[in-house]
Amino acid sequence: MIRRQPQDANFGYNIKMPGTARNASGVGRFPGVTFSNGDAAPEKEKVMNEKEPEEGGCRQWLRRICPCCCRQKSTSYEVTPGAHNEVDAKEEEKPTPLPEPALPQTGDKEMEELQLAVRSVDLHSSKCGQNRTEHHTDQYHGDELIVRRGQTFQMEIDLSRPFNENTDKLHLELKTGPLPLVSKGTHVIIPLVDDLEDECWEAKIVEQNGNRIKLSVNSPAKALIGKYSIAVATRGPEEEVVTMYDPNKVIYMLFNPWREEDIVYMDSDEERNEYVLNDTGRIYYGTEKQIGARTWNFGQFDKDILEACIYILEKSDVLPSGRGNPVNVVRVISAMINSPDDLGVLEGNWSGNYVGGTSPTAWSGSVDILRKYYHGGGAPVKYGQCWVFSGVTTTVLRCLGIPARSVTNFQSAHDTDVSLTTDVYFDENMEPIDYLNSDSVWNFHVWNDCWMARPDLPPGMGGWQAVDSTPQETSQGTFRCGPASVTAIRTGQVYLKHDTPFVFAEVRPCSEEERIAVETASRYGTKPHVYSSPVAEDVSVEVKLEGEGPRMGADAQLTIVVTNLSAQPRSTNLHSQVAVMYYTGVLKSTVKKDKLPVELMPNEVKTINWVLPFQHYQDQLVDQAALMLTVSGRVSETKQVLASQTSFRLRTPDINIKPEGEAVVGKEMSAKITFTNPLPSTLRNVVLRVEGLGLRDLHPIQIGDVGRHSTVTVTEHFIPSLPGSRKLVAALDCKQLTQVHGVADIQVTENL
Least reliable range by pLDDT among 49-53, 257-261, 295-299: 49-53
Give one DSSP letter per residue of 261-322, joined into a string. TSTT----HHHHIIIII--EEEEEEEETTEEEEEEEE--TTSTTHHHHHHHHHHHSSS-GGG
Domain 539-649, CATH number (from 2.60.40.10, 3.40.190.10, 2.60.40.1260, 3.40.50.2300)? 2.60.40.10
**pLDDT, tens digit, 9 for 90 and up, residues 701-752:** 999 999 999 999 999 999 999 999 999 999 999 989 999 999 999 999 998 8
Phi, psi values for residue 471, rounded to 5°: -75, 100
Query: What's the pLDDT at 705?
Result: 96
Asked if residue 134 has pLDDT above 50, the reply is yes
- Given the candidates 2.70.98.60, 3.40.50.720, 2.60.40.10, 3.90.1150.10, the CATH classification of the domain at 656-748 is 2.60.40.10
Rounded CA separation 23/577 (Å) = 89
Locate the domains of the chain by residue range: 118-254, 269-522, 539-649, 656-748
The catalytic residues are 386, 445, 468
Least confident span in 68-72, 133-137, 511-515: 68-72
Is residue 433 within 8 A of residue 425, CB to CB? The reply is yes
Give the mean pLDDT of 66-95. 38
Least confident of 316-325, 487-496, 651-660: 487-496
145-192: pLDDT as tens digits: 999 999 999 999 999 999 999 999 999 999 999 999 999 999 999 999
Name which of 87-101, 326-340, 432-446 the model is least confident about. 87-101
Helix (H, G, I), strand (E, B) or coil at 486: helix
Please count the other Cβ atoms lying within 10 Å of the Cβ belonging to residue 530: 16
Strand partners, 700: 689
Question: CA dist 452 to 102, 313, 332, 516, Å?
Answer: 67, 19, 16, 27
pLDDT higher than threshold 50 for residue 96:
no
Looking at the predicted structure, is the pLDDT value of residue 234 above 90?
Answer: yes
DSSP assigned state of 418: S
Judged against a pLDDT cut of 60, whether residue 409 lies above it is answered with: yes
Instruction: Kindly report which listed range (25-34, 215-224, 436-445, 542-551) carries the lowest average pLDDT score.
Output: 25-34
Q: Examine the pLDDT at 473 and tell me if it is beyond 60.
A: yes
pLDDT at 27 exceeding the cut of 70: no
Q: Tell me, what's the pLDDT at 462?
A: 92
Report which secondary-structure segment, H or E, holds 235: strand 226-235
Please give the pLDDT value at position 443: 77
Answer whether residue 569 shows pLDDT above 90.
yes
Residue 311: is its pLDDT beyond 50?
Answer: yes
Q: Has residue 85 got a pLDDT over 80?
A: no
Using CA atoms, how far residue 352 sits from 343, 364, 474, 654, in Å, is: 22, 18, 24, 22
Residue 56, pLDDT score: 53
Fold of the 269-522 domain? Coagulation Factor XIII; Chain A, domain 2 (3.90.260)
pLDDT at position 656 over 70: yes
Q: Which of 126-135, 521-530, 560-569, 743-752 has the lowest mean pLDDT?
A: 521-530
Would the CATH topology of 269-522 be identical to that of 539-649? no
Compute the radius of gyration of the chain from its Cα atoms.
37
DSSP secondary structure of 49-73: -SSPPPPPHHHHHHHHH-GGGSPPP
Q: Which of 53, 71, 51, 52 is nearest to 62 (CA)?
A: 71
- DSSP code for 587: E
**How many CB atoms within 10 Å of residue 373?**
25
pLDDT for the residue 494: 77
> Which helix or strand (DSSP H or E) is residue 701 part of?
strand 696-706
Determine the pLDDT at residue 369. 98
Per-residue confidence (pLDDT) for residue 415, from 0 to 100? 53
**8 pLDDT tier (thresholds 50, 70, 90):** very low
pLDDT of residue 511: 53
What's the rounded Cα separation, in Å, for the pair 392 and 367? 8
DSSP secondary structure letter of residue 360? G
> pLDDT band for position 65 (50/70/90)?
very low
Q: What is the pLDDT of residues 579-634, one digit of tens each?
A: 888 877 777 888 999 999 999 999 999 999 999 999 999 888 888 888 889 898 98
Inter-residue contact 108 to 34 (CB < 8 Å): yes
Cα angle, residue 447 at apex, residues 441 and 452 outer, rounded to 5°: 135
Find the length of the chain: 752
The predicted model gives 105-129 an average pLDDT of 80
Q: Categorize the per-residue pLDDT at 50 as very low, low, confident or very high, splitting at 50, 70 and 90.
A: very low
Q: Does the structure show a pLDDT above 50 at 272? A: yes
CA distances from 332 to 88, 199, 621 (A): 86, 26, 36
Is residue 28 very low, low, confident or very high in pLDDT (cuts 50, 70, 90)?
very low
pTM higher than the cut 0.85? no
pLDDT of residue 635: 92
What's the pLDDT band for 478 if we cut at 50, 70, 90? confident
What CATH number does the domain located at 118-254 have?
A: 2.60.40.10
User: Before 383, cis peptide (omega within 30)?
Assistant: yes
pLDDT of 495 reads 76
Residue 53's pLDDT band, with cuts at 50, 70 and 90, is: very low
Closest C-alpha among 215, 94, 102, 196 to residue 155: 215
Confidence of residue 427 (pLDDT cuts 50, 70, 90): low
Question: What's the rounded mean pLDDT across residues 320-331?
Answer: 95
SS3 574: strand
Count the Cβ atoms, other than its own, within 10 Å of residue 664.
Answer: 16
pLDDT value, residue 528: 57
331 versus 12: the higher-pLDDT residue is: 331
**What angle, 0 to 180 degrees and rounded to 10, lies between the N-to-C axes of helices 386-400 and 367-375?**
80
Q: What is the mean pLDDT of residues 555-578?
A: 93
Average pLDDT, stretch 355-377? 96
What's the confidence (pLDDT) of residue 113?
A: 64
In this structure, of 195-204, 281-290, 364-373, 527-536, the range with the lowest mean pLDDT score is 527-536
* Per-residue model confidence (pLDDT) at position 195: 92
Which pLDDT score is estimated for 593? 92
442-446: average pLDDT: 83
Higher per-residue pLDDT: 465 or 586? 465
- pLDDT at residue 70 is higher than 60: no
- Reported as a pLDDT band with limits 50, 70 and 90, residue 294 is very high
Question: Is the bond preceding 483 in cis, omega lying within 30 degrees of 0?
Answer: yes
